[in-house]
Amino acid sequence: MTNSRGTGGGWTPAVWPADEAAASELRGWLTGVGGPEFRGLDMDFSGADLSGGDFSQGWFSRSRLHHATLRNTCFARAHCEGADFSQADLSGADFTKALGREAHFWKAKLHGVNFTAAEFNRADFTEADLAGANLTDVLLTRTTLAYTNLTGVTAERTVLRNTILDSADVKNFTGSVIGPISVIYRGRRSLLDGAELEQWFAARGGRVRRVYPGKEAKPG
């Protein structure tokens, strides 16, 4: 990935944001204005193609990125609280240690995204495609994963406490999680934990073990 922080590093957007304020902020940052961390709070990047950019430690809080193309874009340690990535293509993006409380990813493409140690509590991933994503150590408390494609996901100590998983595809979802999860179970809304949580995943082609905070996961 090309390093674009502060001076551009040879990287420029394939498609600039249509919104002039967002384009101006991006243009200034690429020429060294405003410091090394990109500051795009409360801006509209909808439809832009920022694939391959390095926005490490940048700020996108409450910004709109509808239908944006963000393949292999780096958001490591970035602030994405309340950001709206609905229907964006984020395939291969890196959100390591990013902060994204109440972010929106409705119908977003998140193939192979790295969310290691990120915090996306109360986020909405309804109908998103997270096939092959890495959810190691990620916090997803009270998050919505309804109708989400979670096939082939890697989960280690992944916090899914009170997270909604209605009709999620969890085939080949493997690793360890911290529950309880919230699902429709036997005709009513239920919080499943322990053996019931493991059985719910197993019945749908996943292989998960429930771990408890502060305790090491035991081999399955």
CATH number of residue 97's parent domain? 2.160.20.80
Residue 6 falls within a domain, yes or no? no
Give the confidence band of 9 by pLDDT, cuts at 50, 70, 90.
Answer: low
- In the predicted structure, residue 108 carries a pLDDT above the cut 70: yes
Mean pLDDT within 202-217: 84
Residues 6+ apart with CB under 8 A from 203: none
- Sign of the alpha-carbon dihedral angle for 104, 134, 192, 187: positive
Q: Report the number of distinct structural domains present in the chain.
A: 1
Residue 217 falls within a domain, yes or no? no
- In the predicted structure, residue 171 carries a pLDDT above the cut 50: yes
Output the six-digit token pair for 198: 């493991």
Q: What is the pTM of this model?
A: 0.92
Percent share of the chain, pLDDT over 90: 88
Write out pLDDT tens, residues 140-163. 999 999 999 999 999 999 999 999
The range of the structural domain enclosing residue 150 comes to: 38-211
pLDDT of residue 218: 40
